[in-house]
Amino acid sequence: MTIGIDEVGRGCWAGPLVVGAVALKTDIVGLTDSKRLSKQERSRLAELIQNNAYVGLGWVSNAEIDDIGLSSALRLAAERATADFPLERTSQIIIDGNQNFLPGVTGVITAVKADLDYPCVSAASIVAKVARDEYMAEQAARYPGFGFERHVGYGTKHHLEALLIHGVTPLHRTSFAPIRKLLEGKL
């Protein structure tokens, strides 16, 4: 079994970090980097992936990121995503990027742009993005005026404007420089 791993939300100012882990049971047509797909294509493919693969999602909250830092959060999310996989029977784990989130686990390789080259990593990218985007859309109803359903927590002009008007929410990562500066009155 080959497991593909990708993360979403690393650079966000708000919301969780999510790591997807996927081992495909069959070929799925149309898999690619989630950022190259429309929202509708991602949703359709995410459903296909859920029905034709072993899927794990590892969630790390913004508060956990603030407590342990981003590098540790990436490791924790990868551990959570793969917790139900039989890692001892896994032939290979392919992680998108150049950082091994699973040190000590054998058979791990890292590859920049793996979400373009390995279908299992593309699938991990898609399910993680769809899950996180849906979560952030739900949070938009709790925090009106922030536009979380559009920018999903990334640092955009609209997000910054909303922060200046409404202040910091419990979803924000207070350890990230823009939020920290805002809280310190330096923004």
Summarised one tens digit per residue, pLDDT across range 29-78 is 999 999 999 999 999 999 999 999 999 999 999 999 999 999 999 999 99
Residue 170 lies in a domain: no
Residue 89 above 90 pLDDT? no
Mean of the pLDDT values across residues 18-28? 97
DSSP summary character for residue 172? B
Residue 93 lies in a domain: yes
Cα separation, 181 vs 187, in Å, equals 6
Mean of the pLDDT values across residues 66-92? 93
**Higher-confidence position of 171 and 91:** 171
What is the percent of the chain with per-residue pLDDT over 70, rounded to a whole number? 100
Three-state secondary structure of 64-83: HHHHHCHHHHHHHHHHHHCC
Record the tokens describing residue 55, joined without a space. Answer: 């899927």
Strands (E), 17-91: 17-24, 53-60
Mean of the pLDDT values across residues 165-182? 96
Residue 140 lies in a domain: no
Residue 178 lies in a domain: no
Tell me the CATH number at 97: 3.30.420.10
Cβ-contact 96, 113 below 8 angstroms: yes
Cα separation, 176 vs 112, in Å, equals 25
Cα separation, 49 vs 117, in Å, equals 17
Give the residue from 82, 94, 31 showing the smallest Cα distance to 56. 82
For tokens 């150049």, the residue is 98
DSSP summary character for residue 22? E
| pLDDT value at residue 87 | 75
Band (128; pLDDT cuts 50, 70, 90): very high
Residue 88 above 80 pLDDT? no
| pLDDT value at residue 187 | 76
Residue 32 lies in a domain: yes
**Higher-confidence position of 17 and 87:** 17
Query: In 3-state terms, what secondary structure has residue 108?
Result: strand
Cα separation, 187 vs 165, in Å, equals 12
Mean of the pLDDT values across residues 126-150? 97
Average pLDDT, the chain: 96
Mean of the pLDDT values across residues 133-140? 98
DSSP string across 119-144? HHHHHHHHHHHHHHHHHHHHHHHHST
Residue 180 above 80 pLDDT? yes
Residue 57 lies in a domain: yes
Residue 35 lies in a domain: yes
Cα separation, 93 vs 117, in Å, equals 14
- Give the domain range for residue 42: 2-133
Residue 100 lies in a domain: yes
Tell me how many domains the chain contains: 1
